[in-house]
Amino acid sequence: MSRNTRNHDHKRTGRWSRRGFLGGAGALMALPLLESLPGRWSKVNVVRANDGQPGIGPNGKPQRLVFWYVPNGIHMAAWTPEAVGTNWALTPILQPLAGLKDKLTVLSGIDNKPGIPEGPGDHAAGTGAFLTCRHVRKTEGDDIKNGVSVDQVAASVIGGETRFPSLQLGLEGGAQVGGCDSGYSCAYIRNISWAGEATPLPKMVNPRLVFDRLFGGNDAGATKEQIDRRRRHRRSVLDYVRAEANSLSTQLQSSDRAKLDEYLTSVREVELTIEAAASAPKCDAPGYPAAELTLTEHSHIMSDLMVAALRCDMTRVLSFMFGNGVTGRSYGFLGVTGGHHDISHHQNREENFEALTVIGTYEIQMLGYFLDKLDAVDDGDGTTLLDNTLVYFSSEIEDGNSHGHENMPILTAGSLAGAMRTGEHIEADAPLANYFMRVLEEVGAPQETFGDDGTEALAGVTVA
């Protein structure tokens, strides 16, 4: 399958972009690289491990990676533990994770300076750099430029073991074009996974679509008629994609028509996958999502689906956006007045600190639901699915008022199948890119450099 790319409406603009996609009925399918079309493409340069089996941890179990993003920073006074080492105490925001303390690591002193923008725009630049550690180009146009994200580097090595090399999920959608933050493209604040410099991977936010993609509509409570209807819908999407691709072929050079033929072959492979799903052994699925969901319900069902995807070994690499950058989401149901972004500009007012602590604690509660579900899955040999996963949790900025990109709020859960230290508060003085280099090294995808400032794998965070 080709990689998902950013939406570019050729019918509206009258031209095709080489990073465009064919879409219909809520589906996205990426075009192959076509020299006839404008734009740029950047490929992942992967250095495979020389020894050991990529994606298998020290305990012999498959390794999984989850990258969990929350917007607008964190109230650091209620986040950062006082003690360093194993005797650290849970802070107010982290209290919901008390039952998992021994499987957590808080990282302090880690910077992501490539997220510093050109003038205003810290949310967009920080979100763009969240997993790439790259300084993004300030633009609201088509000439976006970022880098390859850490999840995609990992997926290029360990993703081939599963049906989906990686999955991108979230709770808030929105267009990928136009300006969303002080002259920065919406593509930067609505995506954290990037397959190339100009290729963000759009996330799925509708749990029903996620369910259908994972389980082919085969939930236990569905009637045969409902299952058949969902399969027909997916087939109709592929028919639409094929028709659009055929219409494009007249605009291409002969060499690109050959590439498009290969692309249509991949569409046929999707069709075969749908057909095979009807008779394949089923991995137990959660219940089919309801149409109307509260924020808590939405977060919970997406967590259920992510756990199912990992448990069923459909993927080993996930990214999840709890909200978009600069989200103005209301938390009135928590007794908080006003939008999150506005509150994050706290101006050192105590009432805003209290509100941000409430919001931050709620975000950790939603993370805790996911972690508890992972930890409840027996992964064999006395380990749980959480033990064999590394869940990385952070935001695009440190504090919503200062918009800082130093001393980022970072929490990890799980040991990546015995590779990473847990149960500690670790202070480091290093770029985030160096931490990601360590993670990539542990999954068998070591890099000579990463992002703009990654030069060596961070020491002191692994078991060995």
Q: pLDDT digit string (tens) for 358-381?
A: 999 999 999 999 999 999 999 999
Listed in order, strand segments (DSSP E) in 12-156 are: 21-24, 27-30, 64-70, 104-111
Backbone angles phi, psi at 442, to 5 degrees: -70, -25
In 3D space, the residue among 182, 187, 144 whose CA is nearest the CA of residue 39 turns out to be: 144
Pick 339 or 13 by higher pLDDT.
Answer: 339
> Residue 225: what residue type?
E
Q: What is the pLDDT of residues 32-44, one digit of tens each?
A: 444 444 433 333 3
Q: What is the pLDDT of residues 117-155, one digit of tens each?
A: 999 999 999 999 999 999 999 999 999 999 999 999 999
Is domain 39-217+284-442 given the CATH code 1.20.1070 in the classification? no
Q: Give the up-direction half-sphere exposure of residue 446: CA atoms within 13 A in the CB hemisphere.
A: 12
Please state, for a pLDDT cut of 90, what percent of the chain lies above it. Answer: 71
* CB-CB contact of 147 with 451 (8 Å): yes
Q: Lowest-pLDDT range, 47-51, 199-203, 259-263, 347-351? A: 47-51
Give the mean pLDDT of 433-460.
98
Please state, for a pLDDT cut of 70, what percent of the chain lies above it. Answer: 76
pTM of the model: 0.79
Average pLDDT, rounded, for the chain: 85
What local confidence, expressed as pLDDT, does residue 284 receive?
80
Residues with Cβ within 8 Å of 154's Cβ and at least 6 positions away in sequence, in order, are 65, 317, 439, 440, 443, 445
∠ CA 22-299-274, rounded to 5°: 40
What local confidence, expressed as pLDDT, does residue 243 receive?
73
Q: Please state, in angstroms and rounded to a whole number, the distance separating the CA atoms of residues 346 and 341.
A: 9
* Distance (Å) of CA 94 to CA 76, 105, 108, 170, 412: 11, 11, 14, 22, 12
- Decide if pLDDT at 235 tops 90: no
In 3D space, the residue among 195, 136, 289 whose CA is nearest the CA of residue 6 turns out to be: 195
In 3D space, the residue among 294, 281, 314 whose CA is nearest the CA of residue 211 turns out to be: 314
Three-state DSSP string of 219-268: CCCCCHHHHHHHHHHHHHHHHHHHHHHHHHHCCCCHHHHHHHHHHHHHHH
What local confidence, expressed as pLDDT, does residue 47 receive?
36
Q: Band of the pLDDT at 158, cuts 50, 70, 90?
A: very high
What local confidence, expressed as pLDDT, does residue 3 receive?
35
Give the mean pLDDT of 174-184.
93
What local confidence, expressed as pLDDT, does residue 240 receive?
65
What local confidence, expressed as pLDDT, does residue 239 receive?
72
* CB-CB contact of 210 with 162 (8 Å): no
* CB-CB contact of 85 with 424 (8 Å): yes
* CB-CB contact of 128 with 146 (8 Å): yes
- Phi and psi based region of residue 429 (left: phi greater than 0; alpha: psi -120 to 50; beta: remaining): beta
For residue 154, the 8-state DSSP code is H
What local confidence, expressed as pLDDT, does residue 144 receive?
97
- Decide if pLDDT at 252 tops 60: yes
Q: What is the dihedral of CA 304, 295, 132, 373, to 10 degrees?
A: -20
∠ CA 387-391-394, rounded to 5°: 150
Q: Please state, in angstroms and rounded to a whole number, the distance separating the CA atoms of residues 99 and 423.
A: 12
What local confidence, expressed as pLDDT, does residue 416 receive?
98
Give the mean pLDDT of 269-290.
66
Any idea where the domains of the chain sit in the sequence? 39-217+284-442, 219-281
